[in-house]
Amino acid sequence: MPDLGRAALVTAFLLLVYATAVGAFAARQRRRRLAASAQNALIAALGASAVAAAVLLAALARHDFSFQYVADHTSRELPLGYTLTAFWGGQEGSLLLWLLVLCGYGAAAVLTTRRVARDLLAWTVPVLGFVGTFFAFMLVFVSSPFVTQHAPADGAGLTPSLQNPYMAIHPPMLYLGYVGLTIPFAFAMGALLSRRTDERWIVATRRWTLAAWAFLGVGQLLGAHWAYVEIGWGGYYAWDPVENAALMPWLAATAFLHSVMIQEKRGMLRVWNMVLVALAFCLSIFGTFLTRSGVIQSIHSFAKSPLGAWFLGFICVLVVGTTALILARLPLLRARTKLESLVSREATFLYNNLLLVALSLTILWGVIYPLLSDLVRGESSTVSKPYYNFFLHVFGLPLLLLMGIGPLVAWRRASLRALGRVFLWPLAAAVVAGAILLALGAGSSRIGVIAYTFSIFVLASIVLEFVRGTRARKALGTDTWAGAFSSLVARNRRRYGGYVVHAAVVFLAIGVAGSSAYQTVREQRLFPGDSMTVAGKQLAFRGFEQRRAPNHLAIRAVVDVYDKGGHHVARMYPGKNEYFAEQQVSNEVAIRHNLLDASDLFLIADQVNANGSVDLKVLQKPLVNLIWLAGLIFVGGSLIALWPDAREERRLAERYEGVLAEA
């Protein structure tokens, strides 16, 4: 079995080398048959990497500890579901997943565009092959999951924090996002190499980019919820370097998705879009470097390994290569039109871009600063949470406001009279909301009040856009208001799906502001029979319970919760899990959701003491559930934007001959 896995990886590596070298030669010499063979090699690499993945999964399922990877990341007591998720729980398996997803994306891109964008695809395949060759090389020569050993009686087990249902979906979602950014990058570089620098590469990759961006966004929200329910600290985002590594490419991709609309509509920002798509991809590889190099300390990162130097070298090649290529093609990237007014929709999109990139680069500086300080001064200095929060407020609040301004401003230029008319209702709603918040005593957090006020402004702007559009469709003869609304969305899914995503960001902002600026935190040591009061609720500690699971011993504190009137409302069980194979202890929190005000009562058993007492930490987190609601809204908006639009497809097909919408 390990020989089959190794052979499959070697086959994938050779196929990807062929796709790179022969594909580049065929594109340069305009040899269509040879180019087609390179494309077929890329597709075949998917089959080879799938065989390697199947071998590893079979070894995990059978607890074949002769595979060193299986012995290092599983144990016999580990439930089957978590045993299979160990596929991406370790260094080598996660690299194999990356290669598998990359080959899958590459094969799908070839199959959907080979008949309609042949010249562009001829140069795109070598770029995809080059990226795939690097990962296949790492798996074959540097970090193979098929290293064997004398089989021990049992394995070392899986890190306790990974033994959570979210680990079955959070990492694959992130990988679909990370790796998916390879497709727009490869097509962009293919456009530069083929000297086809118009909007055709954007049309060919629009849905690929949207899908990768959506996967990356959903993956981060799932990761935030995993941290919230599993890590046992009461938060959902800690500005951890690996968390930031996923956020940075998402911010760059968000800027790109907004910026390409200006290029499509006005033929502007061609150079900027090339820079953005390259930045998003390079940041995704940088995130992989952070996770696998061991140069930073993170709960999400793997142990120190030789992979770091290889990834750093690969990043340098990408940065130098893409920069040189963009500079060489600058004459072909000149814009046909220029910005006509600083008060226009394209101007607001540009401001949005600058803020997103500034936030991304600020986070990047915070991540690499410890590495640079260690390199220059010989001691590692880190930036703390206040640094990130400061720049989140500086760049994030204007970004939030721009989400409400942008849709209301006209293209090219806007008159002051028109602006006053469209801003009247959203501005009035924001002012009234701010006044109410101050009257209710929310002024204890100035940032919170500003975030809420801006959020109301954006929501009012979104509602106004839907109302105006629905009214216009009804005036054109649609029988019902519901029919007018559905017709409005169906005729411009990308635009109105984007508005739904904006609404998701607003709910996210409200949830973050409420749960961080207005939360209540109390800590107290309790003996059985003792109680404490938090945010009007009385919590009484009754003692401990123990129960044995297949792979751990669960110790739970029993806490009864009473409301202000003394009525019993819940029994909660925070505690610890003691894992047998891993010889580790994890926090297991207890959370009670209140759907009426979207708040959570969050209990952490910080310390289980030998004298029968518990050190209990209690957090009352208002509006935190709006963050998870935002995730559902985000998925809905993304699906609307991704859903095929026959009308738009016909328009694009007419505008760009030879490029069909299924591309």
Q: What is the pLDDT of residues 573-583, one digit of tens each?
A: 999 999 988 88
Q: Which of 491, 608, 613 is nearest to 553 (CA)?
A: 608
Confidence of residue 663 (pLDDT cuts 50, 70, 90): very low
Residue 54 in this model has a pLDDT that exceeds 80: yes
Cβ within 8 Å of residue 399, ≥6 positions away: 352, 355, 356, 359
pLDDT in tens, 461-503: 999 999 988 998 888 877 788 888 988 888 888 889 999 999 9
pLDDT in tens, 375-416: 787 777 778 889 999 999 999 999 999 999 988 887 777 776
Q: CA-to-CA distance for 265 and 441, rounded, in angstroms?
A: 45
Q: Are 571 and 561 in contact (CB under 8 A)?
A: yes
Mean pLDDT of 317-336: 91
Residue 305 in this model has a pLDDT that exceeds 70: no
Q: What is the pTM of this model?
A: 0.92
Mean pLDDT of 161-170: 86
Q: Which of 566, 605, 609, 607 is nearest to 589 (CA)?
A: 605
* Exposure string over 369-382, b if 16+ CB within 10 A, otherwise e: ebeeeeeeeeeeee
The pLDDT of residue 517: 87
Percent of residues, the chain, with pLDDT higher than 70? 95
Mean pLDDT of 8-12: 97
Amino acid at 609: N
* Exposure string over 161-177, b if 16+ CB within 10 A, otherwise e: bbbbebbeebbbbbbbb
Q: Rounded to the nearest 10 degrees, how much is the dihedral formed by the CA atoms of 372, 374, 375, 377?
A: 110
What would you measure as the largest C-alpha separation in the chain, in angstroms? Answer: 83
Q: Which of 61, 62, 141 is nearest to 95 (CA)?
A: 141
Q: Which of 548, 534, 503 is nearest to 616 (CA)?
A: 534
Residue 506 in this model has a pLDDT that exceeds 90: yes
* Token pair of 289 as six digits: 């470097």
Q: CA-to-CA distance for 103 and 49, rounded, in angstroms?
A: 8
For 44, phi then psi, to 5°, come to -65, -30
* Token pair of 130 as six digits: 């080059």
The pLDDT of residue 345: 84
Q: CA-to-CA distance for 93 and 246, rounded, in angstroms?
A: 19
* Exposure string over 561-587, b if 16+ CB within 10 A, otherwise e: bbeeeeeeeeebbbbbbbbbbbeeebb
pLDDT in tens, 247-273: 999 999 999 999 998 888 877 889 999
Half-sphere exposure of 300 (CA within 13 A, CB side): 24
Count other Cβ atoms within 10 Å, centred on residue 334.
10
What three-state secondary structure class fits 541?
strand
Residue 646 in this model has a pLDDT that exceeds 50: yes
Count other Cβ atoms within 10 Å, centred on residue 550.
10
Q: Are 102 and 182 in contact (CB under 8 A)?
A: yes
Confidence of residue 652 (pLDDT cuts 50, 70, 90): low
The pLDDT of residue 313: 92
Q: Which of 137, 360, 347 is nearest to 258 (CA)?
A: 347
